[in-house]
Amino acid sequence: MELDNGFADLEKLIGATALRHRVLSSNIANSDTPNYKAKDVDFGSFFDDQRLKMDATKPMHFSNGAPTSASGQTVEDNALLWGDGNNVEVDMELAKMTENGLKFQAAVKLVSEKITMYKSALKRV
């Protein structure tokens, strides 16, 4: 019996949200560090092979233009720099953490529901 790819996709999403939580936590921890630039995780880099290929009329339609590193982190170059060269806004980072936490909870809930579905199907066999 072969299971669908849903578990692998959800595993990627849970891993990506865990990485993003660490990155956002680091941003908050460095909110007073001079010249520190806030970082974020590009979820698209985790799911590139499953993205819908869409036609764009301009090159920047589906990209924010921020440079991406191999780890999937992006530097937010559009944020305002404070006098010390730091661009971390703690309120924004907390909002991102809340959004990220909701994505994590949704992925875990979906895993739980998939397991329940498979258990139910196995009981009927």
Q: Give me the half-sphere count of Cα atoms (radius 13 Å) on the Cβ side of residue 13.
A: 19
> Each residue of 71-98: pLDDT tens digit?
555 556 556 777 888 889 999 999 999 9
Q: Does a structural domain hold residue 32?
A: yes
pLDDT, residue 4, reads 72
For tokens 């520190």, the residue is 36
- Total number of domains in the chain: 1
For tokens 């974020």, the residue is 40
Q: Does a structural domain hold residue 1?
A: no
Q: Does a structural domain hold residue 109?
A: yes
Q: What is the pTM of this model?
A: 0.69
How far is C-alpha 64 from the geometric centre of its chain's CA atoms?
15
